[in-house]
Amino acid sequence: MKKNKAPSSRRAEIQHLYQCYASGQTTLPACALLKFLQKEQMELTADEETAENLIDRYEIEETARESRSMTFEGFLRYMESKDCCVFDRAHASVYQDMDQPLTSYFISSSHNTYLTGDQLVGKSHLDAYVCALRKGCRCLEIDCWDGPDMEPVVYHGYTLTTKILFKDVITTVEQHAFEVSAYPVILSLENHCSREQQEVMAQYLISILGEKLLRTPLDHPTTGDLPSPNFGVCEVTGGRPTVTPAAASLAHEPIAARCRKIYKDCFYPAKKQKSNESA
């Protein structure tokens, strides 16, 4: 027995479906479209009104619309539309309970965010941070190392990956942090810098991020629980995004200590070489 040849393209596949339900007719009646919706699309709640609404939306040939049917071109427009997408459109916005502690959630995170290539000789680029943020990433990794002229750099240490300036990374984060998500951004700082360049990093974090930088402890003083993701959703005030609650002033503390408090000991002094003691 000769097997039917598989459709050679997506259009041919859709045409095959159309012909099956049109049953030899030149157009697809609303009742046949409804059958297609229920059987193939599994839209069990669809009714004839649903089918007719699709005809009104996607059929441009007046004669077909008047006869409450759909031409192949109209059917093709429907099949390639958002109405035919398998993704649940109710999930296009946040639908989960977002009032639980931060530790209750999986957080979209990025490893070696700065890299656009491999981890040995790849290129570090600011666009990698932009791309991650635009994909909804909420935790970015920044590997920080001492750079020339007291400018901390970001790259994959002890490799041939290229270097970018720490201050440029923070500026990029500030510009793009809340383009697609209002939830807080976590900066995972892998800090290899000397104390002197840690202070430079702290100055950049405070001066560039401003009030967007959280400077108060997050955990509950009694239970130790972290707040929910809603604690610092993005607000747009005065034409620029900020994060609430507003950062508390820590001006009386040294910059390095300030950053240790912000990032819970992500900042640490460089290890000192032990001097050789005489016997």
DSSP string, 151-196: --EES-TTSS---EEHHHHHHHHHHHTTSS--S--EEEEEE---HH
- Per annotation, catalytic residue among 16, 91, 111, 252: 111
Q: What is the largest CA-CA distance in the chain?
A: 104
Q: 40-96, pLDDT tens digit by residue?
A: 999 999 999 999 999 999 999 999 999 999 999 999 999 999 888 888 878 888 889
Q: 180-206, pLDDT tens digit by residue?
A: 988 889 999 999 999 999 999 999 999
Q: In 10 A of CB 200, how many CB atoms?
A: 19
- Per annotation, catalytic residue among 91, 125, 156, 192: 156
Instruction: Identify the band that residue 246 occupies on the pLDDT scale cut at 50, 70 and 90.
Output: very low
| 111 in active site | yes
pTM for the whole thing?
0.63
Q: How far apart are CA 24 and CA 223, in angstroms?
A: 70
pLDDT given at position 65: 95
pLDDT given at position 261: 36
3 vs 131, higher pLDDT: 131
Q: Which residues are within 8 A (CB) of 178 and not within 5 positions of it... i.e. 6 or more apart? A: 185, 234, 241
Q: How far apart are CA 213 and CA 206, in angstroms?
A: 7
The residue whose two tokens read 């950049």 is 204
